Amino acid sequence: MPGNVMNIASSNIVWIVAFFVMGVVIFQAIMFMNIAKKAAPDAGLTPTEVSRAIRTGFISSLGPSFGIAIVIVSLIALLGPPITMMRIGIIGSAATETAAAHIGAKAFGVELGGAGFTEKAFATVVWTMCLGGMGWLLVTFLFTKSLGKAEKAIRRKNPKAVASISLAAMLGAFGYLASEQMLKGLGFFFAGIASLGIMIICMSIAEKKNISWLREWSLGISMVCGMIAGTMVIALT
């Protein structure tokens, strides 16, 4: 990125907007934690279970979050620190944002970070990423209420249907995501299989011996084992 463009990309106002966005995301998470805690007793969660759910969320998020952190390092050079923070902090993955940045640069008629990547080209990139990412926000903003109403209508008619629909959606999505990843290569295959197997082992031990900490750690443990298995398979072949 040319120096004058980098100056704009890391100017104070850009930092302020980026921190504002991150602040909103943090505020939202804390707010939802509070209102969920208030609804917890009537939903059948004891105070112990509330802290267990919170602890599990925290433990389980560490692995995936570091996975995300490793990928964004390359984006920082491409977009500058504050824009990277703002774009990755809200909806839009590193892959999506990288593609969007290339699309934006192309729309201006230059290569990303190449010759002729002026302030205006940079502005086109930011416009593209911000407006493109807004699609999900707008749909969520406008239609989550209707989706909630639809769910309520189904629940009124047939309460059991809601449970089987959400189970089916979960299985459908992750059946596909896991298959797609595991078909990518030998390492990926064994990473997925190992993780799946360790999860089953963790859960059956936790169930039999009633070990609650194992339930909290099972996602983290399975993930790490899967990653080790994949790496070992690659090293051995």
Partner 1 sequence: MSMSQEVVRTASKAKPEPVSSSMTRFHEQSHFWGRLTILLVMIASVGLPMYLSFVLGAHPGWGAIFAGLLGYAAFIGVLWIVEPVTYFPILGIGGTYIAFLSGNIANLCVPCSSAAQKAVGAELGTQKAEIAGVLGIALASLTNTIIIILTVLGGTFIVNLIPASIQQSFVFVLPAIFGAVLGQFAFSKPKYGVMAVLIGIGVFFSPIPSLIKIASCVAISIAVIYNVEKAKDKKANG
The interface with partner 1 within residues 63-82 (CB under 8 A) comprises 63-70, 72-73, 76, 81-82
Residues in the chain: 237
Q: How far is the CB of 149 from partner 1 (least distance, A)?
A: 10
Residues 35 to 54 in contact with partner 1, rule: CB under 8 A: 35-45, 49-50, 52-54
Candidates 91, 111, 114, 116: give the one binding partner 1 (CB under 8 A): 91
Residues 131 to 150 in contact with partner 1, rule: CB under 8 A: 131-141, 143-145, 147-148
- Tokens linked to 196: 């799946």
- Residue 187 touching partner 1 (CB under 8 A): yes
Q: How far is the CB of 97 from partner 1 (least distance, A)?
A: 10
Phi (first) and psi of residue 45, to 5 degrees: -105, 125
- Residue 186 touching partner 1 (CB under 8 A): no
Please give the sequence-ordered ranges of beta strands (E in DSSP) within 120-198, or none if there are none.
Answer: none
Residues 161 to 180 in contact with partner 1, rule: CB under 8 A: 161-180
CB 188 within 8 A of CB 203: no
Q: How far is the CB of 87 from partner 1 (least distance, A)?
A: 9
- Residue 218 touching partner 1 (CB under 8 A): yes
Largest CA distance in the chain: 65
The amino acid at residue 54 is I
- Residue 2 touching partner 1 (CB under 8 A): no
Fill in the DSSP letter of residue 116.
Answer: T
Q: How far is the CB of 106 from partner 1 (least distance, A)?
A: 7
- Tokens linked to 207: 């169930």
The amino acid at residue 136 is W
- Give the three-class secondary structure for 7: helix
- Tokens linked to 194: 């190992």
